[in-house]
Amino acid sequence: MLAKMINRIIATLSIAIILFWSAFPVVGYASFITPGEVMKPGKVSKPGEIPAVGEFMIPGEVMEPGEVVEGGETPSSGGQAVTGQPLLPQAPYKSGNLLIPNVPPPPTYPIWLIITDSGSVLDPSDPNGGKVTGGTGEGITAGENPSGGKIEKGDGMDSNGNMESGDSGSTKNVKSESPFAKENNAFYDTGELPHPLRVMLKSSDPEDRGVVGHVSGAVEDYKEYYLGFLNKEVIGGATSWYAGFNLKRVEGKNGFKVSAKREIKNSIFKGLYNEYLQYDDAGKSKSLGNHTKYIKESTFNKFRQTKGLWTTDTTYASALKQSLSNVNNEWNPLSIKKDVNSWNPFKKVGLNKAFGSGSMLGKLSGPMNYALAAVGSVYDFGEGGKMAKFGYQSTEFAASLTTEIGIGVATTGLSSIASSVAAGALVGSAVPGLGTVVGAAAGLAVAVASNYLLNGTTRGKRLKSNLTQAVNLGYKKVTKGIRSAWGGLKGLVS
């Protein structure tokens, strides 16, 4: 019973506390609120007084015109010009009208020598605004500066109001009519020069031809650096040089002593060394093995001839002839033999067997030379190429292809001659391997240098573009003559 009462009391107190807690602030704030006073309406504003009308203003006296300003002294007579700095045009033949101030000093610029139709030269030093000193024309009256005597800075003027210097009107601004000029030569390359390493490594695609450039460049690099220099013949020669292999003439005898100081233990280099000792004797393969201690001069010459080295009877003339023969075998598919009994120089024309031989194809020469030379031109004049607007039927394509082939032939010839000359410089050496290495290095150096000078330098690329343009002009004249002749024949027939 007591517990229930206590619970009721606690519940009642809790309710009272909650009600007091929530309702007391509202009641407390409400006890302070009292109604305000009723707002009284304001008074009506009285209108202001009308301002008095002012007196009528009497106009002032009319200003009389001033006296005419008399002409001053000319600068040539000791006086000073009364105007500011004259506006001189940048060049008299430019568009726009010339603003001539009233009294400029007499310069030597040709624009001041203005000749009237029926009078004489205008005197620029005349203070009266350029009065005509002779003839029947009317004098030019001086005008006022639109800025009140102050020359405003405009386009083509510096901060002091002086005209800025412009082009002198030299031939640089005149378009040249020469077909070899930059703007007229379609083969002129205006792009940036590639890095020298990109020029020497064609697989890096220095001409930016994409996959075609990378693949064709890789084939050219393989041919130039591996087949042309790091081949088994050169490595075998270097190995024989290391082994001390030499052929020394025996005094008083028509022969040479064969000797070697070191033995090659590596199986790979030993095989290349033994292969280098082989030579061709009337179509038969022979070798200067370990058992060979002495050879005759005829065998010595056969061995050196097989290695592409000078023999005891080789001269510079015969070496040059052999180099040209090598170029002919690599680039000429035809064989032309002279017939002294016939007037026709082409009577004995056939195919050059060396051109398409297996050894030539193995060196990526012969027909491969033309394929590698044509890749760049075919790509450039094809769809998406930089010369695509001309197409394959244009003289520009024929000129580009001709120039590339011509450069290939010339480079091959120069490399062959350089290799032969370098080997000839060591003709007196007893070490044939040294001559093989030096000759191959000289040929490679000429090929790399030629490629860099023509494709990696500004002057070289300019020379190449001019050569191509010259060939193109020749083709255009030939085609024009053929068309003219064909038109004449058609006219006769019709």
* Same domain for 476 and 375: yes
Q: How many CB atoms lie within 10 A of CB 473?
A: 14
* Same domain for 221 and 125: no
Lowest mean pLDDT among 65-79, 144-158, 302-316: 144-158
In whole angstroms, give the CA distance from residue 356 to residue 473.
33
pLDDT 10s digits, 108-149: 444 434 443 444 444 545 555 444 444 444 544 544 544 444
Task: Return the pLDDT at 21.
Answer: 55
Is the model's pLDDT at 415 over the cut of 90?
yes
Say which DSSP state 226 is in: I
Where is pLDDT greater, at 442 or 335? 442
* Same domain for 213 and 102: no
Task: Return the pLDDT at 226.
Answer: 93
Task: Return the pLDDT at 130.
Answer: 47
Is the model's pLDDT at 437 over the cut of 90?
yes
The per-residue pLDDT of the chain, averaged, comes to: 77
The SS3 of residue 7 is helix
Does residue 382 fall inside a structural domain?
A: yes
Does residue 54 fall inside a structural domain?
A: no
User: Between the ranges 87-91, 191-195, 397-401, where is the mean pLDDT highest?
Assistant: 397-401
Task: Return the pLDDT at 1.
Answer: 61
Does residue 108 fall inside a structural domain?
A: yes
Total number of domains constituting the chain: 2
Segment 430-434 mean pLDDT = 88
Report residue 260's pLDDT band, with 50, 70 and 90 as the boundaries.
Answer: confident
Report residue 376's pLDDT band, with 50, 70 and 90 as the boundaries.
Answer: very high
Does residue 351 fall inside a structural domain?
A: no
b/e code 249-288 from CB counts within 10 Å (16+ = b): eeeeeebbebeeeeebeeeebeebbbebbbbeeeeeebeb
Task: Return the pLDDT at 34.
Answer: 57
* Same domain for 483 and 392: yes
Task: Return the pLDDT at 468.
Answer: 93
Q: Tell me the pTM.
A: 0.60
Q: Cβ distance 257 to 248 under 8 Å?
A: yes
- Residue 326 token pair: 């090598």
With pLDDT > 70 as the criterion, what percentage of the chain qualifies?
62
Is the model's pLDDT at 63 over the cut of 80?
no
* Same domain for 282 and 219: yes
Task: Return the pLDDT at 19.
Answer: 59
* Same domain for 202 and 305: yes
* Same domain for 395 and 280: yes
Q: Cβ distance 329 to 304 under 8 Å?
A: no
* Same domain for 296 and 214: yes
Task: Map tokens 């002839």 to a residue.
Answer: 321
Does residue 436 fall inside a structural domain?
A: yes
Where is pLDDT greater, at 350 or 385? 385
Report the chain's terminal Cα–Cα distance, integer Å. Answer: 146
Task: Return the pLDDT at 490.
Answer: 77
Task: Return the pLDDT at 170.
Answer: 46
User: Between the ranges 37-51, 59-73, 437-451, where is the mean pLDDT highest?
Assistant: 437-451
Where is pLDDT greater, at 93 or 223? 223
Is the model's pLDDT at 273 over the cut of 90?
yes
Task: Return the pLDDT at 254.
Answer: 84
Does residue 137 fall inside a structural domain?
A: yes
Sheet harboring 246-249: ordered strands across?
Answer: 246-249, 255-259, 294-296
* Same domain for 486 and 394: yes
- DSSP letters spanning 222-286: IIIIIITTSSHHHHHHHHHHHHT-EEEEPTTSSEEEEE-S----SHHHHHHHHHHTEEEETTEEE
* Same domain for 249 and 118: no
Task: Return the pLDDT at 235.
Answer: 95
Does residue 308 fall inside a structural domain?
A: yes
Report residue 71's pLDDT band, with 50, 70 and 90 as the boundaries.
Answer: low
Where is pLDDT greater, at 419 or 122? 419
Report residue 163's pLDDT band, with 50, 70 and 90 as the boundaries.
Answer: low
* Same domain for 232 and 138: no
* Domain boundary, last residue among 143, 164, 179: 143
Is the model's pLDDT at 85 over the cut of 60?
no
Domain that holds residue 133: 96-143
Is the model's pLDDT at 188 over the cut of 90?
no
Q: Cβ distance 343 to 273 under 8 Å?
A: no
Q: Cβ distance 74 to 125 under 8 Å?
A: yes
Give the CA-trace dihedral at 353, 359, 365, 368, to 10 degrees: 80
* Same domain for 403 and 279: yes
Task: Return the pLDDT at 336.
Answer: 76
Does residue 360 fall inside a structural domain?
A: no
* Domain boundary, last residue among 109, 127, 143: 143
Task: Return the pLDDT at 47.
Answer: 66
Is the model's pLDDT at 101 over the cut of 60?
no
pLDDT 10s digits, 289-337: 878 899 999 999 999 999 989 988 888 899 999 999 999 999 999 887 7
Is the model's pLDDT at 168 over the cut of 60?
no
pLDDT 10s digits, 5-61: 666 667 666 676 665 556 555 555 554 455 556 666 666 666 666 666 666 566 666
Is the model's pLDDT at 202 over the cut of 60?
yes
